Amino acid sequence: MAFDLVIRDAEIYDGTGSTPVRGDLAVAGGRIAAIGSGLGLARETVNAEGLALAPGIIDGHTHYDAQITWDPFVDPSPALGVTTAVLGNCGFTIAPCRPADRDLTMRHLTHVEGMSLEALRAGIRWEFESFPQYLDMLARQGVGPNVACFAGHSAIRTFVMGENATERTASDEEIARMVALVRNAMAAGAVGFATSTAEAHNGEGGTPMPSRLADDREMRALVRAMGESGRGVYMLTRGSKTSIGYLEELGAEAKRPVLIAALFHSNTNPAAAFTVLEEVNAARLRGRRLIAQTSCCPLSMDFTFKSPYLFESMQSWKPAMAVHGIPALKQVYRDPVWRDAVRQELAASRGGLVFNGEWDKLFVVETAKPENRSLEGATLAELAAKAAKDPLDCILDFALSEELNTLFVAQLLHNDEQAVAKILADPHTHISLSDAGAHLTFFCDAGFGLHLLGHWSRDLGVMSLSEAVHRLTGQPASLFGLTNRGLLREGYAADLMLFDPKSVARGPRRRVHDLPARAARLTASAVGLHGVWVNGTKVADEKGLCADPDTRPGQVLREFTA
H/E stretch holding 329 reads helix 326-334
Report DSSP state, residue 19: P
**Gyration radius of the chain's alpha carbons:** 23
H/E stretch holding 139 reads helix 131-141
Q: What is the model's pLDDT at position 350?
A: 74
Q: What is the model's pLDDT at position 1?
A: 63
Q: pLDDT (tens digit, 9 = 90+) per residue, 423-476?
A: 999 999 999 999 999 988 778 999 999 999 999 999 999 999 999 999 999 999
Task: Give the Cα separation of 116 and 550 in Å (integer).
Answer: 26
Domain that holds residue 337: 304-413
Q: What is the model's pLDDT at position 509?
A: 85
pTM for this prediction: 0.92
Assess if residue 181 is contained within a domain. Answer: no
Beta bridge partners of 92: none
Task: Give the Cα separation of 335 and 322 in Å (integer).
Answer: 15
Q: How many domains does the chain have?
A: 1
Assess if residue 468 is contained within a domain. Answer: no
Assess if residue 153 is contained within a domain. Answer: no
Assess if residue 341 is contained within a domain. Answer: yes
Q: Tell me the average confidence (pLDDT) per consecutive run of 10 residues in the chain, 562 residues long.
A: 93 98 98 94 96 98 98 98 98 97 94 88 98 98 98 98 96 98 98 96 89 98 97 96 97 97 93 97 96 95 90 92 93 97 91 87 94 94 96 97 95 93 98 93 91 98 98 98 98 98 94 91 95 98 94 97 90
Task: Give the Cα separation of 499 and 451 in Å (integer).
Answer: 13
Closest CA to 83 of 74, 92, 91: 74
**Are residues 160 and 177 in contact, defined by beta-carbon separation less than 8 angstroms?**
yes
Assess if residue 350 is contained within a domain. Answer: yes
Say which residues have a Cβ less than 8 Å from residue 233's Cβ, sequence separation at least 6.
150, 191, 192, 193, 256, 257, 258, 259, 479, 480, 481
Phi, psi values for residue 29, rounded to 5°: 60, 30
Assess if residue 555 is contained within a domain. Answer: no
Assess if residue 194 is contained within a domain. Answer: no
**Are residues 31 and 42 in contact, defined by beta-carbon separation less than 8 angstroms?**
no
Q: pLDDT (tens digit, 9 = 90+) per residue, 310-354?
A: 898 899 999 999 998 999 999 999 999 999 999 999 998 877 788
Assess if residue 261 is contained within a domain. Answer: no
**Are residues 434 and 62 in contact, defined by beta-carbon separation less than 8 angstroms?**
yes
Q: Is 408 helix (H, G, I), strand (E, B) or coil?
A: strand
| Range 127-132, long-range pairs (CB < 8 A, 24+ positions) | 128/95, 128/97, 129/95, 129/96, 129/97, 129/98, 129/99, 130/95, 130/96, 130/184, 131/93, 131/95, 131/96, 131/155, 131/181, 131/184, 131/185, 131/188, 131/190, 132/184, 132/185, 132/187, 132/188, 132/189
